[in-house]
Homo-oligomer: A and B are copies of this chain.
Amino acid sequence: MSTCKVALYGCGTVGMGVARLLLAPGALHERLGERITLGYVVDQRLDEIRRELNPGQSVVLTDDLDRPLKDPEVRVVVELLGGTTVARTVVERALVAGKEVVTANKALLAEHGDELFRLARRHGRSIGFEGSVCGGIPVIAALRDGLVSDRIESIYGIVNGTCNYVLTRMLEREMLYGRAIAEAQERGYAEADPRLDVEGLDSAHKLAVLARLAFGANVRLADIPCEGISQVELSDLRYAQALGYTLKLLAIGIRRGEQFELRVHPALLRSNHPVAAVSGVFNAVCIHASNAGEIVMTGQGAGRMPTSSAVVADIARVALGSYPTEFATLSQFGDVPDAKIVPFDDVETRYYLRLDCADRAGVLGSVAGILGEEGISIASVRQHEGAGAGKQTVPLVFMTHRAREGAVRRALQRINRLDVVRGERTRMLRVEDV
């Protein structure tokens, strides 16, 4: 077996980790021999990288995107640039130049994965992406060939560590959302601009990648309803806990006959659900497979070394020759149909509704009347002690039986117009009894 020469594009947090694993004689060399060599590091910050990495003479540091592609010895291009512009160009040019590609770029795959997979197949090359979703958890491999004979009924979980950290800290430390975000930023768990994480888009990217593999269908990012955690209030975490639930930001994919439910939003999980116990920056993925049954995998979803481990595993699979044959053959990587999505209004779950309302007789009746007219059946109501300074309003928490999203939204519009409802708006959270 010949040596597998790697060109690494982007030497930031993860790139530096990958470079170190490829350069260091460690477990990789023990298991695989010296079959993988780092040939190029492509980045703008050449001096800085040279100092930090000290890669020796055999590694070419360059800011020329095309140079490694012209080297016939380079077999793998590892794209860790991030973003969807230069990264896309690099991946396209690499495939056209006959290189195998490994990437951890979920945004790129969520937005352009379908074209890129087609391009790779046309050129007889592969795209590895274990690092793009849940870094240290080998979920892509499980979906690719571990569950090859299984129909995946559902896949859902916590795929964003930043949000899970924030929600965990809010409840543990009685923190308001803003304080928890600030702490996450201080600890390096959240970006200076945390919107991609907290608004749920990062989770939607990952769900799009997972759903294609799980369901063998192409998912357009725009088809995933996406709600983040920035509106979550500490009081709702507490009320949910009192009801026996834990609030998590979930990415959810469920097969419904020929259609699929795909959505990202905060959701209440029963506190004894294995995913409910996953705290801090940890991720968790739960798969219901027709033969294998329920599988739950938890681990570090992000960070330099967990993601680097996944990226290097993909490089090794190319060096071993195993991944390209799987990519070339398995249908999920080929021409797949577009996923038919259940319209969000038709999705059925249970709901948690919190109203801040004037404490007077009749309010329960008014609200219950509207819910009844919209066909929404109430499972329980709890009145909590008022939290405001003057306590002119009291929070009322309704748990519904299964209802349709559309009906709940219509009901909420009507409830919010009632003069007994005093809060900014009624809070609604979905309850997943999975």
Contacts and interface: CB of A to CB of B under 8 A. Distances in A.
Interface of A: 1, 17, 21, 26-28, 30-33, 35, 130, 135-138, 141-142, 145-151, 216, 272, 274, 277-278, 289-300, 303, 305-306, 308-310, 312-313, 316-317, 320-323, 325-326, 329-332
A31 B150 CA distance: 10
Residue of A28, A148, A274, A293 with most partner-chain B CB within 10 A: A148
A317 B316 CA distance: 16
Contacts of A331: 30-33
Nearest to A272: B277
A148 to B, nearest CB: 4
A148 B313 contact: yes
A306 B149 CA distance: 11
Contacts of A30: 216, 331
A199 B332 CA distance: 44
A118 to B, nearest CB: 17
Nearest to A329: B320
Residue of A135, A138, A305 with most partner-chain B CB within 10 A: A138
Contacts of A27: 148-151, 290
A145 B313 contact: yes
Given A145-B317, A146-B138, A312-B148, A297 B295 contact: yes
B145 A320 contact: yes
A292 B299 contact: yes
Residue of A30, A151, A309 with most partner-chain B CB within 10 A: A309
A332 B31 contact: yes
A70 to B, nearest CB: 28
Contacts of A300: 292-294
Contacts of A21: 149, 291
A291 B306 contact: yes
B142 A138 contact: yes
Contacts of A142: 138, 141
